[in-house]
Structure 1
């Protein structure tokens, strides 16, 4: 092996080893430490090894069960709604005849770059008892009295779903829009010649063509929803009661709001890891190409 070839090999391995080292240091090492911490109870240096007691405690912890239930409610209702809206917006904004497409795309995407805290506070004001939303709904006679968006468990969950959908629909739309622009227009033209309607084209052409992107966005959205924290924390504070408390917020409460128990908080955080792995595997299974 010549000197030049040897230098290339060394440089190639350098580019591989350095990122791998930092990934191990900042990702895998904290994961191992968190798992070891989950086998202890207490806070700070006052930790006591308890084995898997923290994991057994999960099954009898009503606050954990409530947080898990709320998280899956948001997961089941919000992600399909967001993906469907993102698909519809991407198809509409990909039309060649649509004027001012750049402005409309920017308006749909804009919520995804707004501050999480800022938009949560704006939503809190808009959906308050005397907020603009209730005033509009009463003004058009859809309701007789203000909806308790922040005080009723059902409507508080609906508000969280509305807020998340508003913020992240445009983000997912960009992925679909980029993928659609790589689909040859001749495919749709051939479908129109064969008499396919717009709805048939959407289900028979668009969705199959976007299958890999839909799989990607569904997995990333699932991971994001399982880690949902900002909206419940800033909009409802996890209330009323525990009606909107999520797993991430419960971890925060265990670590900083209640009597600190970092070991149990780590055990709760590992349930998120388990659900991410299980749901991602299911989505890969359902979303893979069929021969």
Structure 2
């Protein structure tokens, strides 16, 4: 009996051994190396240990502070708007009386599987000074002259937020749809018998039942926004004058565009890790999740 248990344990470990080794090699080892690298500084491969000097440099680096401000603006505006829109669409498309639900679900989800580079380039052309968006707005007399979507600091941020929202709303909507379909219909029927209005039903039943999914999508969207790179790189290239540059793009510039400073780039990357931890803790506290 003991030999059988040992054999079963060995079989079990053999199944997870390869995956565990791969995770350690490709995830944990690079993380540790990046942490060690963040305590070094120098040009290219000529690195020397500098202790906490790189971390002290963060608070004096105007470019880094600008990228943090830009990224936090994206986070505070785009994530709540996207989650609310995803929740609204999921409730709408969960209605069994709605025709062509499958078509609408697919159409809204499709942006999530498009190429990041391809859709970013399309947005760049759509929001160009002579692009379709300006032409349409001028044709319906909403604006008198073209909006500088890509060259004005404010409108460039708006363009980035619109692009991110367009791509990821459908992705989050799928999570809400799956959660809604697991809510027992008898709960809604009981609420209807008790005279609850659709708005009361939404806030008293739907939202509380979706709380775990709301927390999950909030955290994953926060992580994704703090790591935002492709859209900014391809639509505005961080301009004008760093007005749209994100922390991830700054890491790229430090590593490959400017004189290579891999030690400081690793420090900035760990700043993202710290921000993710802080925002995640805040979201858990706001959600009241003690686990």
TM-score computed with the length of structure 2 as normaliser: 0.97
Return the offset for 1:20.
2.4
2:74 counterpart residue number: 74
Q: Structure 2: how far apart are the matches of 1:252 and 1:73?
A: 20
1:138 paired residue number: 138
Q: Pairwise mapping of residues 7-46 of structure 1 onto structure 2 (< 5 A)? A: 7-46=7-46
CA distance in structure 1 between the partners assigned to 2:187 and 2:164 by the alignment:
34
SS in 2 for 1:48: strand
How far apart are 1:15 and its partner, in Å?
2.8
Aligned-pair CA distance for 1:17? 3.5
Structure 2 portions without partners, runs of 5+: none
Output one character per residue of 1:150-186: Cα deviation in whole Å (capped at 9) or x when no partner: 0100000000000000000000000000000000111
- The residue aligned with 2:98 is 98
> What TM-score comes out, normalization by structure 1 length?
0.97
CA distance in 2 between counterparts of 1:219 and 1:55 reads 25
**Counterparts of 1:289 and 1:49, CA distance in 2:** 41
Say which SS state the counterpart of residue 98 (structure 1) adopts: coil
Instruction: String of CA shifts for 1:90-129, please: whole Å, max 9, x gaps.
Output: 0000001011110000011010000001001111111111
1:188 Cα offset (Å): 1.1
1: CA distance, partners of 2:172 / 2:99? 22
How many angstroms apart in 1 are the aligned matches of 2:30 and 2:289? Answer: 35
Aligned match of 2:214: 214
Deviations along 1:37-88, one digit per CA (max 9) or x if unpaired, are 1111124431111111111111110000000000000000000000000000
What CA distance in whole angstroms lies between the structure 1 residues aligned with 2:14 and 2:282?
36
What does residue 175 of structure 1 align with?
A: 175
1:289 CA drift (Å): 4.8
1:48 is aligned to 48
User: Would you say 1:160 and 2:160 are equivalent positions?
Assistant: yes
Task: State the partner residue of 1:6.
Answer: 6
Moved more, 162-171 or 47-56: 47-56
- The alpha carbon displacement at 1:34 in A equals 0.4
CA distance in 2, matches of 1:137, 1:10: 67
**Distance in 2 of aligned mates of 1:9 and 1:31:** 30
Say how many residue pairs are matched.
Answer: 290
Matched residue of 2:238: which SS?
Answer: coil
CA distance in 2, matches of 1:36, 1:104: 49
1:204 corresponding residue in structure 2: 204
Which residue pairs with 1:248 in the alignment?
Answer: 248
Alpha-carbon separation, structure 2, partners of 1:138 and 1:16? 60
SS at match of 1:42: strand
Q: Quick one: distance in 1 between partners of 2:2 and 2:263?
A: 54
Distance (whole Å) between structure 1 residues aligned to residue 207 and residue 177 of structure 2: 12
How many Å separate the matches in 2 of 1:29 and 1:288? 34
Q: CA RMSD in A?
A: 1.2
- How far has the Cα of 1:18 moved from its partner? 3.2
Q: Secondary structure at the match of 1:47?
A: strand
**Per-residue CA shift, 1:4-52, capped at 9, x if unaligned?**
3321111122234432222222111111100111111124431111111
Structure 1: gaps of 5 or more residues: none
